[in-house]
Amino acid sequence: MSKSGAEEGKRKGNMTVAEAGRKGGQKGGRRTAETHGREFYEEIGSKGGHRVRELINEGKAHENE
């Protein structure tokens, strides 16, 4: 598979910026899970759901104006 010109230009060391981001994301996700646990994810999921509901209601309110 060929790499895009943008990805090739963003090499620093032995990996691309994208590869480093993926690697950090994998480690970061495990670390967050170990640190915070299930309750953390339940809480942020609930907050996200509430925000989505608010945005939908705001959109509906603007449609009715």
Residue 11's H or E segment, with its range, is strand 11-12
Q: What is the pTM of this model?
A: 0.47
pLDDT at site 57: 95
DSSP 3-state percent helix, strand, coil across the chain (nearest 5): 80, 5, 15
pLDDT at site 47: 95
As for how many domains the chain has, the answer is: 1
Range of the domain at 19: 5-63
Instruction: Show the CA angle centred on residue 54, arms to residues 41 and 65, nearest 5°.
Output: 165
Enumerate residue ranges in the chain where pLDDT < 50: 1-2, 5, 7, 9
pLDDT at site 12: 63
Q: Report the distance separating Cα 25 and Cα 31, nearest Å.
A: 10
